[in-house]
Amino acid sequence: MFEVYENKLGELEKHSHFRFIRDIEKKEGKYIYINGDKLLNLSSNNYLNFADNKEVAENFYAQAGSEYSFGSASARLLTGTLPIYKKLENLITDLYQSGGTLLFNSGYHANVGVNSALTGKGDVIFSDKLNHASIIDGMRLSEAKFFRYPHNNTEALEKLLIRERNNFKNAVIVSESVFSMDGDIADIKKLVELKKRYNSILVLDEAHAFGVFGETGLGVSEACGLLKEVDLLIGTFGKAIGSMGAFATGKKVLIDYLINSARSFIFSTALPPVNIAFSKWIIENELPKTYEKRKKMLELGKKLGSESHIIPVIIGSNEKTAEMCDILYKNGYFTLPIRPPTVPQGTSRIRLSLTTDIEEKDLEKLCSIIGSTNITTKNL
């Protein structure tokens, strides 16, 4: 009965495509420990070094004490909501000067909920081809027609809008701001122009930009001065903020509609109150201190050939990518091979992820190693 799965796993191993969950001993700042080896962690989304930070945790508990429980035990629509949830939602609403905010359990929950709820039969979604899997899954769960335009190609998007927009009732344009596997940035100004011109809703996933871009860390939309032009913005607490969960913030009518229609919100037990309190505390107390560190991190990313703190080193084949990761491991660097379906076929890569603790000197040896191998790469 299980032979079909065994055969499929065998094929994955044969093509250097087999994944497994790696055991680690501990994390310590920018380092990770595996089997006694101390490695520079270049695979983390802990951009501001708040996760696993003992000093930050101690400061939070000194303020919070035992006020917040470690379990919610219910969906918020089932038994109501504690004040801390509304306090965090109100904080985000105030920061973004939006109409309202809704918390989700993760970025995946948020994107699946938003993209499956906002559209139905007779509606249409226009999505960047390299949008995250959670966005794609949400579109598939909706009953809307969807089109995926070539990555960051707003000219192709406009041609699609000209051809298809009038064939549908509601239309949604959805994009990431900082793309998670490429590190490049969407042309948000142009997306805003197109959504206005073609009477569409703009949904922007700022998962990898929230906490990193903008004077106060609100994302690329803030950095571009376009916060009020985005109809619905998605952010996560599980990356730069070092916590867990996500949010959608934007037009009040859309937030109210999500409360009533987003199945990933309606049917999920809420995150623990202590977790919600920690996210709020980080945003209020720690995030405001990070501007100079964030600026320095982004400058290093640009020096390494990226538009952001995410640097893709594109190798191509699964085998060569895995081989490069092994070479880097032996030289003190923890990286993981990124392979299809996470990225398009033939573009397997190493995704170097910077944090504010990583300095240019930490990467000199890595750049030298990548440059001296006979493995052909793009970037660096």
Q: What is the pLDDT of residues 79-92, one digit of tens each?
A: 889 999 999 999 99
Q: Which fold has domain 64-287?
A: Aspartate Aminotransferase; domain 2 (3.40.640)
Q: Give the chain's mean pLDDT.
A: 95
Contacts of 214-221 with C-beta under 8 Å, sequence gap 24+, read: 215/291, 216/95, 216/287, 216/288, 217/287, 217/290, 217/291, 217/294, 218/95, 218/96, 219/177, 220/177, 220/178, 220/185, 220/186, 220/188, 221/177, 221/188
Tokens found for residue 98? 């939006």
DSSP string of 40-93, one letter each residue: EE-S---TTS-TT-HHHHHHHHHHHTT-S-S---S-HHHH---HHHHHHHHHHH
Give me the pLDDT at residue 196, please.
Answer: 98
Domain 14-48+291-372 in CATH 3.20.20.70? The answer is: no
Give me the pLDDT at residue 258, please.
Answer: 98
Give me the pLDDT at residue 341, please.
Answer: 86
**Sheet (strand 100-104) strand order:** 100-104, 246-250, 232-236, 201-205, 171-176, 124-128, 145-149
- Which residues in the chain land under pLDDT 50? none
Tell me, yes or no, if the two domains 14-48+291-372 and 64-287 fold the same way. Answer: no
Instruction: Delimit the domains of the chain by residue range.
Output: 14-48+291-372, 64-287
Q: What is the pLDDT of residues 253-269, one digit of tens each?
A: 999 999 999 999 999 99
